[in-house]
Structure 1
Amino acid sequence: MYKRETLGSRLGFILLSAGCAIGLGNVWRFPYIVGKNGGAGFVLIYLIFLILLGLPMMTIEFSIGRGSKQSIGNGLEKLEKQGAKWHLWGPTAIVGNYILIMFYSCIAGWIISYFISSLVGTFDNLDTTDIAKVFSSLTANPLKQTIWMAVAVSISMLVVAIGLEKGVERITKYIMLTLLFIMLLLTIHSLTLSRTAEGLKFYLIPNFKSMKEIGFFTILYEALGQAFFTLSVGIGSMAIFGSYIDDKHSLAGESVRIIALDTFVAITAGIIIFPACFSYDVAPDQGPSLLFITLPNIFSQMKGGRIWASLFFLFMSFAALSTLIAVFENIISYWIDVKKMSRRKACLINYILILVLSLPCILGFNILSSIQPFGEGSNILDLEDFIVSNIMLPLGCLLFVLFVTRKSGWGWDSFLKEANKGEGLKFPSKAKFYVSYIVPILIAIIMAKGILDKLI
């Protein structure tokens, strides 16, 4: 008889969920968004939105998972009222996980490639132009990209194939604890740089004059968007881990711990990056190039730069792999729960499937570079990212909120009962109006502006 797997420990649940939330966005996007929006004042607003929006959304998704004891693929169907259609989002959410992997596996491959390049000294004594050429030559070479993507997918799928407790939980624990240790080393080093004080002042002390120049509503939206996207809620990546845990602890309390860990990593990334930017006269508002061009250039100028670059990209590799493992587990659990397939068979089928599905993103930088869905300079990765980030994540969150607050869905009382089982922080029953009406409005604003900014 089929017996569903469960996690072995509370720490495993917290680190797995945090590992899914902690990804590349915490490291390059958060410092970049902070730099673009004037520093510490943005961080303060971001933290407020994280509580107002991130906490209820994470609690809701965990509750759906624990209440159904299923992946999102069929969890909604188990909880909804008879004859309702909420369950249609379940398989759609799983499709969202596939689309996410289609480009995330490619980026994870780049990161691992940069770790190896740093380790062997590829960036030693290169100037900015030469370092930029390293990245452009990587993206221009489909075979090299495919090999590194396959390395990332192979490592992650092997972990999932070993099993939930012995593979996913145990190995992710080591990955996350090592990640945090490397961050500590990088932070200590960053605090010894020549202009650390200037970098930290920019990052940690609000500059209201700068905020006024940028525009309060612009900063407000950017903070709202970052708080929303950082937690990876909306396509069931958190629900799956909720389905694996017991009733000993309340889900609002667990959500606070995971959000705190995610925020710690994001803020610490800024402490690592801003002193380096100021010490080497680099603008702190660089975009994605910060990761693959700017930071290698900074490391190449540092004393012992090869060591620090290797540690940084090892940390980044762990951040990318922890997310891949979590999303793979969500996909594989769907095949196990719905198709009653063995874990190893599901992993083998999906290993081949994901290798193939990841190719369009890779080819979008070379052979298929003529495909520019959002105009000149855009590529297939941009399209895949747009579908997940601007459509599927906010749409999924909107549906989840409506599902737990409407009578035709799971209903507020059922959600509250599940969320508040066990010891710990209770989700307030008086928050019903806020969750039912204000949260959907905030999500709708994020979704509408994200789509309009991209299409207009």
Structure 2
Amino acid sequence: MTRESWHTRLGFILAAVGSAVGLGNVWRFPWMTAENGGSAFLVVYLGIVLLVGVPGLLAEFVIGRRSQRNPAGALYRLSSGSKSWRAVGLFGVVTALVLLSFYSVVGGWILRYFLASFTGSYFGSPGAYFGSIDFGVQAVGFHVGFLALTALVVVGGVRDGIEKATKVMMPAIVVLLVALAAWAVTRPGAGAGLSFYLDFDAAYLRANFFDVLGAAAGQALFTLSLGVGTMITYASYLGDDNNLVFDGSAIAVLNTGVGVLAGLVVFPLLFATFGELTGPAATGGGPGALFVSLAGAFSQVPLGQPLAVLFFGVIVLAALSSSISMLEIPVAYLVDEHGVERRSATLGLAGLVLVTGSANALRPSLFTFVSGTLVNLMLTAGLTGFLVFVGWVLGADALSEYSSGAGSRVQSLGPAWLWSVRTVLPLFLVATLAVNLLALAGISPAALVGALVG
């Protein structure tokens, strides 16, 4: 069976950016920013993207291009047949299915809001509307509809499905967000939202450092699609002439830019409408905060209905671009390792996610656990495993793959990159994992550190 490849370099970059630019940017990013001090969270998040995200992207690229396989097959092949390393790769495949199980539920919410925006049916009582559609049988129906759209693209394959779709979706997302941001920042009262979002709050960061760190690290990995094997899978369709450093940097910059743009839409609009940040506080926080707050905002501004159609249309495209990559990971595993035909693999896995996603759509407590705690833990553990593999198993071979297709200046940075992948980044991720586990156990990391030092 001939393995597929990207038709163009731009197609790969847009597909990878599409994987990263999704609900993590326009749903989870504003929500996490609002609940973690605004500008304080933004500064830590940007630092983690630069110092951890870009090197982590390169590590996954190295594994994927060198192996030409999915995460499980890649680690198995490059470790000369180690079943233990194959299990680490398979963990990434499972993580992708877990992600898609809650992601498609949120995708269903967005699809519902997009359709409802044409009539403005949620304008009258935004909170009650979300409460009536967030979980239950209707949520299952829209989850299935969103999943069907995802599977339709993945069945088309790498070139004819994923690449063609993202070449249309990504430019559309950026153009629409720029237009919305340009409008939002001109609203009366938007300055307070920009201040909350962009003026660095050192006092908040000092008082809540560990909470902000754990949230920012989880958000950075989620929004860059790290730790799940997406970038391994996408890079496995690359040729040797690609400059991995340039591609990884471009993807990180574009992804982060879209996230920042989303904040420039959300926060000025919220403050201009309500006079203060009432989203999480007024709606009880959590995954519904963005929907309820923005629905209320659109109901109070001129041309609110067409703007709502535009905004939720952008989010539908962003959500699809990421869900496509999540489904592609296990599909690539079945195609590569078991010779399953792409159509059969896609439909079978979509059927599995239909069941697991329906469970999340019916049980709010399960959804909250999966979308927050479980995903953060799995992504952090997954990326740690990939980095250890690149640094200590591939070693010199990883450096050779890093340098392939790169200029001399980029190649000179290779030893520093490999050293960070071997030591600094895994230690940081292990510490982040510990912070998240302590929080899960109800133990304050700051209090524990204070007790140990004292």
TM-score w.r.t. length of structure 1? 0.90
1:305-324 equivalences in 2 (<5 Å): 305-324=304-323
Q: Corresponding residue for 2:154? A: 160
Q: Corresponding residue for 2:446? A: none
1:172-321 equivalences in 2 (<5 Å): 172-212=166-206, 214-280=207-273, 281-283=275-277, 286=280, 287=285, 288-321=287-320
Amino acid at match of 2:253: A
Report the alpha carbon displacement of residue 285 of structure 1 after superposing the two structures with TM: 6.5
Q: Corresponding residue for 2:445? A: none
* Equivalent pair of 1:71/1:240 in contact (CA under 8 Å): yes
Deviations 1:184-235 (A, max 9, x none): 22112102200122322332232434545x4445444443443333212112
TM-score w.r.t. length of structure 2? 0.90
1:285-434 equivalences in 2 (<5 Å): 286=280, 287=285, 288-365=287-364, 379-386=365-372, 388-406=374-392, 409-410=393-394, 412-423=395-406, 425-426=410-411, 427-434=413-420
Q: Against the structure 1 CA distance between its residues 97 and 279, is the aligned structure 2 distance closer, same or farther, given a 3 Å change threshold?
A: same
Report the alpha carbon displacement of residue 80 of structure 1 after superposing the two structures with TM: 0.7
Amino acid at match of 1:413: A
SS at match of 1:123: coil
* Equivalent pair of 2:221/2:227 in contact (CA under 8 Å): no
Alpha-carbon RMSD across the aligned residues, in angstroms, is: 2.0
* Equivalent pair of 2:5/2:237 in contact (CA under 8 Å): yes
* Equivalent pair of 2:360/2:367 in contact (CA under 8 Å): yes
Amino acid at match of 1:138: I
* Equivalent pair of 2:210/2:435 in contact (CA under 8 Å): no
SS at match of 2:53: helix
Select the residue among 117, 131, 135 that pairs with 2:130: 135
Distance 1:113 1:325 in 2: 19
Deviations 1:315-341 (A, max 9, x none): 111111111111111121111111112
Distance 1:205 1:387 in 2: 29
Higher deviation after alignment, 334-343 or 25-34: 25-34
* Equivalent pair of 1:54/1:231 in contact (CA under 8 Å): yes
Distance 2:372 2:269 in 1: 31
* Equivalent pair of 2:391/2:419 in contact (CA under 8 Å): no
* Equivalent pair of 2:279/2:293 in contact (CA under 8 Å): no
Distance 2:297 2:307 in 1: 10
1:55-134 equivalences in 2 (<5 Å): 55-81=54-80, 83=82, 85-124=84-123, 126=124, 130-134=125-129
**Is there any run of 5+ residues in structure 1 with no aligned partner, and where?**
366-378
Q: Identify the structure with the greater helix proportion.
A: 2
Distance 1:384 1:218 in 2: 19
**Is there any run of 5+ residues in structure 2 with no aligned partner, and where?**
443-454
Q: Corresponding residue for 1:453? A: 439
Report the alpha carbon displacement of residue 83 of structure 1 after superposing the two structures with TM: 5.0
1:45 aligns with 2:38: no
* Equivalent pair of 1:156/1:321 in contact (CA under 8 Å): yes
Report the alpha carbon displacement of residue 264 of structure 1 after superposing the two structures with TM: 0.4
Q: Against the structure 1 CA distance between its residues 324 and 28, is the aligned structure 2 distance closer, same or farther, given a 3 Å change threshold?
A: closer
Query: How many matched pairs?
Result: 433
Distance 1:308 1:240 in 2: 36
SS at match of 1:301: coil
Report the alpha carbon displacement of residue 428 of structure 1 after superposing the two structures with TM: 2.6
